[in-house]
Structure formats: structure tokens, C-alpha cells
Homo-oligomer: A and B are copies of this chain.
């Protein structure tokens, strides 16, 4: 979560200062929306609309309430999700993807279609890498 950028320690072996240390533009986004649970949570919110805590919990299947809370807080903090608290008895809380969060939709769609099209290729590559000692080595 904390990106230790700006630390010019250059790590052990001296960097001769030549050859561009280019910055990858997508890196910051990874912390925001792409990790084990943030993506599924966002995805679910985007697909099924406004939902209560338990609904999310159940749809996500294996997530624990603690983790769900953590991710939701992070997403709320980053402005991707809005939380509305209804002071009733029993309490009711609803989560909804924000305007900003919704702009991630196309990306998710792209990822889903990539997965659909290519994940089996990945798995087969994985198998052949494991079975053979390594194809060309």
C-alpha cells in the first residue's frame, strides 16, 4: 500500500546513472483498485449496484467481515465507493460505487474479456512449464 518511491537508495548495486529509470504510469493505480479483494469488491458493487454489508459479504463468498471492512474503508477513502449509514434499529449501511468508481467499469470489462479469452492459454502454459523441465532450456 505504501509505495516507497523517491528513495534514491538505488538498492545495493550501484546504478551508474546511465539508462533511464522510467516510471511506469500504471503503478499507482495498482494500490487503488487492483489487489486480491479491492477488485472483487469494486466489481460486485459495479455489477449489482447499491448493496448492504451482508449482501456484499455473501456475494463475495469467502471474504471475512474484517477484510471486507478494511477494503471498503480504503475504497471509501479513495473516493471510489460511497457509504451511507441509516441510523435505524437494527442499523443499516449501504455501499454504492461512486461516479469516479464507475469510470473503472470499462477496465473491468476489458479484464473480464481478457480472462475469458486467454486464461486457458495461461493455464496450459503453466502446465507445460511444470511438466517439462522447462521447454527450451
Contact = CB atoms under 8 A, between A and B. Distances in A.
Q: How many copies does the complex hold?
A: 2
A114 to B, nearest CB: 6
A36 interface: yes
Contacts of A27: 39-40
B62 A122 contact: no
Interface in A22-61: 22-30, 32, 34-36, 39-40, 43-44, 47, 55, 58-61
Instruction: Classify chain A's interface size.
Output: 35 or more
A115 B39 contact: no
Binding site secondary structure of chain A:
helix
B115 A62 contact: no
Interface of A: 4-5, 7, 9-13, 15, 19-30, 32, 34-36, 39-40, 43-44, 47, 55, 58-65, 76-80, 85, 100, 103-104, 106-108, 110-112, 114-119, 121-122, 124-126, 129-130, 137
